[in-house]
Structure 1
Amino acid sequence: MKLKREFYNRDTVEVAKDLLGKILVHSVGGKTTSGKIVEVEAYKGIIDKAAHTYNGRRTERVEVMYGKPGLSYVFFIYGMHYCMNVVTREEGIGEAVLIRALQPVDGIKIMSERRYKVPFEELKEKQVINLTNGPSKLCKAMDIDKRGCNGIDLCEDILFIKEGHKEPFDIGISKRIGIDYAGEAKDFPWRFFIEGNKFVSKIR
């Protein structure tokens, strides 16, 4: 069952928590890959110094964050990596959830070719874990980039999120990663992850 727009049109922190265990799917060039969302971070716009839309900032880069809930916001960092976010709240607010890590579900051989340029069978266990255990890693493995995926409606059929298996899990909570520049916002407890999952990017 694909998530409906109403799912995304809620408080960003609640959406972030509820995304855990859901399945991100991308179909492109006749290839489909998917992964279970195991780690996320919430970014709350105008009040959040770590958000690209802090204090109401509006640029061409971030305009999609002000769009309708359920759009994808993909940005480029360090001149080489992409990161995927899910736009939340009603149109005009500018909040989103960063997808930080996935557990591969479908298309793992395709992911291996994209990430390592070698057959999946040749990977060591650590390489398998590293396929999608970070925001830029999962974008590379899932072929998610700004040119093809920024602003896509996640309620449609190319890039979307669907319900996962109803497996119980505990939610871990921590400060977000890599935002030491963000003043008091660096200490907001808005990173959420599935406790004990080996695909989480940074284990406490």
Structure 2
Amino acid sequence: MSNLTVSTSVTNPPTGLPDAFFDRDAQTLARDLLGKIIRHRVGDLWLSARIIETEAYYCEEKGSHASLGYTEKRKALFLDGGHIYMYYARGGDSLNFSAKGPGNAVLIKSAYPWVDELSGPASLAQMLLNNPDAQGRPRPSQKLCAGQTLLCKSLGLKVPVWDAKRFDHEVLLVENVSPAPVHIIQTTRLGIPQGRDEHLMYRFVDAAYAPYCTRNPLRRGQAEGRDYFLLT
């Protein structure tokens, strides 16, 4: 795979997915978001990335923020599908979308830079500036969005701006202009503490982009049927 996903097929202006797309079961939504393009307009630039890794969460399971109960901060989780829920994780911003049913949501775990006629080299250059490494150097483009906080930093998404909001298709949207994954990996979520339903296989990865997600589910030592399942 090349360092960038490049496409010449683009709708201009972009057409975001309707709210109804998100008002579905969290696992279904998590799978169907793979391959979709997140676009965030910053000034004259559309910063864009292809979703390659998601995690589904349900209100009743212990790994979910919603399992801790309703608060003003968590209200987006209890709103209709298609609301944006953002929170801070490890000092950075994280992006989630509410799904069908109170307390259910999908975390956008990682993505891959997307370049096309709308989001060209200048957009990628801005994403690289947004998210340098610890030494202030440009990250490899294929790892620019390889984690939930890296994704938000690259796209310029901030908790105070977007938490509990609907999509604004003039500024932030999810678009269906990229080929759907051929194979999807289903495995356990990352960072779930022991005893908080860490065994649930609610994490989904586009198999073609597995090396570029938060943690490669196909790394050495992982076995199909035990550590992950391959969906077609």
Q: TM-score, normalised by structure 2?
A: 0.77
Where is the helix percentage greater, Structure 1 or Structure 2?
1
Shift of 1:30: 3.1
- Name the larger-Rg structure: 2
Hey, what's the Cα distance between the residues in 1 that align with 2:77 and 2:171?
19
Q: Give the 5 Å matches for 1:96-115.
A: 96-105=105-114, 106=119, 107-115=123-131
Percent of residue pairs bearing the same amino acid type = 25
User: Structure 1 pair 88/94, CA: closer, same or farther in 2 (3 Å)?
Assistant: same
Q: Give the 5 Å matches for 1:166-177.
A: 166-177=179-190
Shift of 1:202: 0.8
Q: Any idea what SS the aligned residue of 2:81 has?
A: coil
Hey, what's the Cα distance between the residues in 2 that align with 1:158 and 1:21?
20
User: Structure 1 pair 60/193, CA: closer, same or farther in 2 (3 Å)?
Assistant: same
Q: Give the 5 Å matches for 1:55-94.
A: 57-78=69-90, 80-90=91-101, 93-94=102-103
Q: Give the 5 Å matches for 1:1-204.
A: 1-45=15-59, 47-54=60-67, 57-78=69-90, 80-90=91-101, 93-105=102-114, 106=119, 107-116=123-132, 123=138, 127-154=140-167, 156-181=169-194, 183=195, 185-197=197-209, 198-204=211-217
Hey, what's the Cα distance between the residues in 2 that align with 1:157 and 1:16?
24
Q: Is the CA contact (8 Å cut-off) linking 1:36 and 1:164 kept in structure 2? A: no
Hey, what's the Cα distance between the residues in 2 that align with 1:108 and 1:135?
18
> Unaligned 5+ residue runs, structure 2?
1-14, 218-232
User: Structure 1 pair 138/168, CA: closer, same or farther in 2 (3 Å)?
Assistant: closer
Q: Any idea what SS the aligned residue of 1:140 has?
A: helix
Q: Any idea what SS the aligned residue of 1:132 has?
A: coil
Q: Is the CA contact (8 Å cut-off) linking 1:76 and 1:82 kept in structure 2? A: yes
> Unaligned 5+ residue runs, structure 1?
none
Q: Is the CA contact (8 Å cut-off) linking 1:152 and 1:159 kept in structure 2? A: no
Hey, what's the Cα distance between the residues in 2 that align with 1:63 and 1:77?
17
Hey, what's the Cα distance between the residues in 1 that align with 2:197 and 2:168?
31
Q: Is the CA contact (8 Å cut-off) linking 2:37 and 2:178 kept in structure 1? A: no
Hey, what's the Cα distance between the residues in 2 that align with 1:30 and 1:75?
26
Aligned-pair Cα RMSD in Å: 1.8
User: Structure 1 pair 139/168, CA: closer, same or farther in 2 (3 Å)?
Assistant: closer
Q: Is the CA contact (8 Å cut-off) linking 2:189 and 2:200 kept in structure 1? A: yes
Which residue identity is paired with 1:99?
I
Hey, what's the Cα distance between the residues in 2 that align with 1:167 and 1:63?
31
Q: Deviations over 1:54-93 (max 9, x none)?
A: 16x0112101111121111110123x21100011115xx1
Number of residue-to-residue matches in the alignment: 192
